[in-house]
Amino acid sequence: MFFIFIPNLGYLFIVIIINTCSMDWSSLIKKVKTGEYDELELVYKTYRMEFIKWMMKSYKCSIDDAKDVYQQTIITFYENVINDKIQSYNSSIKTYIFAIGKNKFYTLTRDKNRFNLEIDDTIKMVSDDRNIKEDNLNKLEGVEKSLTILGDPCKKILELYYYHKKSMNDIAMELGLKNPETAKNMKYKCLKRLRIICQKEGV
Amino acid sequence: MKKEITTVELIEKYLEGRISEKEKKGFEELIQADPAFKALFDDISKLIIGVEFSARKELLNKLKETEKGLPTIESGHEPKVIRFRRFKYGIAVAATIAILIGSLYTIIISRNQSDSTTYFKEYYRPYPNVIHPVQRAGENQMTDEELAYYYYENEQYDRALELFKELKEKTENSESILFYLANIYMATGNYEEAIENFTNLLNNSVVFENQTRWYLSLCYLSNSLNK
């Protein structure tokens, strides 16, 4: 009988090691919220291998599809973190990410009736959270184009503020501005300029 | 510009749902009443969603770039955890089989032993004296042969053995003498001698052939127990 318990003990031991080594919620949220892309990249790398193999095994999809699902999953995870949408911290980060992945997989397959994720599909996927219809997609792409015309640092300020939910303080720091007030004024000017470009572009 | 910033902030607040009921009412009235404000509101909503769309796409592209730089995942292999689990189950299965075989082996051996012991005890009886049934006569009036069988029947095997050995030489290996001699060896637990005698007897046995086979097999059984 003793032999049967040895692998279980080993498994338990490894689980304990993994749990103690992996990130905990509070430090992760702090890092992802205040840090730059590196922090999210670390999350991406941490669960990548296991997630993609799990996706391929459990949902019988190709490696490229599994990677697409994972990237979408990480984006949703990121958005939930920065928007304070995570309601329970009882489950592990891994469990949480895998749960998002499961839903992502079903959303992506249900909406497309196929699992061929081309560039166009990616655009649709990117916007699917806000239920943006096809005709609105043109408008969004118009704004995107206008943002490129606008260029940095305006583009960056607007993205940091509206998408990444950075505070004016963080934006000022990141862009080397004098103070949050300067950042706030700059953000307004940039938005105004973007509006003018969009009007010129007929968006 | 201060006022314009405040207006934009109000629109942002409205879009994010961070606005109070009272403010919301006033806000919606303003949209209805002021076409310029409505146009600003529509534009800012569109721009914010557009900025979010662009940033999300950028992030996705960054992740794709990261992915390109990472080592490839071999689709043929199972994830580590799964492999470990398989290993775990492998061990469990191996252990179960080992335990099963072990216990089976033990059971078989013990059964074997108990069976052979019981069989031996159950089936072994010294062959009855059929040659010279004991008549109610004194020991003094008996011939050596009769006396030998007499001792045999009374389980005085030491005495019987001596007499049978003598008789064996006298009678030039008479079948019955050899048979009973072997029986004496067996009864006294000298299985090797018994086996030797029974085997010799087997080659030229007529009367006791079946009996010889029977006792010989019992001897082997018993002998295997003692080893």
Q: Average model confidence (pLDDT) for chain B?
A: 80
Report the C-alpha gap between B46 and A162 in whole angstroms: 12
Residue A161, pLDDT score: 92
- Say what percent of chain B tops pLDDT 90: 0
Mean pLDDT on B73-92: 60
A71-86 CB burial, b ≥16 within 10 A, e <16: bbbbbbbbbebbeeee
A30 or A181, higher pLDDT:
A181
Spell out the alpha helix ranges (H) of chain B: 2-16, 21-33, 35-69, 80-123, 144-153, 157-170, 175-187, 191-203, 209-226
What is chain B's length?
227
A154 or B87, higher pLDDT:
A154
Cα A27 to chain center, whole Å?
17
Tokens of A40: 């999210």
Residue of B nearest to A128 (CA): B53
On the question of pLDDT at A145 being above 80, the answer is: yes
| Contact list, A126 vs chain B (CB under 8 Å) | 53, 56-57, 60
Residue A43, pLDDT score: 86
Residue B196, pLDDT score: 86
Mean pLDDT on B39-58: 87
A62 or B205, higher pLDDT:
A62
Report the C-alpha gap between B197 and B13 in whole angstroms: 114
**ipTM over cut 0.85:** no
Report the C-alpha gap between A200 and A189 in whole angstroms: 17
CB of B54 less than 8 A from some CB of A: yes
Inter-chain CB proximity B51 and A159 less than 8 Å: yes
On the question of pLDDT at A181 being above 60, the answer is: yes
Tokens of B89: 């189950």
Inter-chain CB proximity A37 and B62 less than 8 Å: yes
Inter-chain CB proximity A132 and B5 less than 8 Å: no
Query: Backbone phi, then psi, for A26, in 5-degree steps?
Result: -60, -45
Report the C-alpha gap between B221 and B53 in whole angstroms: 90
Q: How confident is the model at residue A116 (pLDDT cuts 50, 70, 90)?
A: very low
pLDDT tens figures, A50-69: 898 888 888 888 888 888 88
Residue of A nearest to B65 (CA): A41
Among the partner-chain residues B47, B52, B82, the one whose CB lies closest to the CB of A163 is B52
Residue A61, pLDDT score: 83
Among the partner-chain residues B50, B70, B98, the one whose CB lies closest to the CB of A48 is B70
Residue A93, pLDDT score: 83
Report the C-alpha gap between A203 and A126 in whole angstroms: 19
Inter-chain CB proximity A72 and B60 less than 8 Å: yes
Sequence-separated (6 or more) residues with CB below 8 Å from residue B146: B132
On the question of pLDDT at B172 being above 50, the answer is: yes
| Contact list, B100 vs chain A (CB under 8 Å) | none
pLDDT tens figures, B99-114: 888 888 887 776 666 6
A17 or B201, higher pLDDT:
B201
DSSP string, A84-110: T-----SS-HHHHHHHHHHHHHHHHHH
Inter-chain CB proximity A53 and B87 less than 8 Å: no
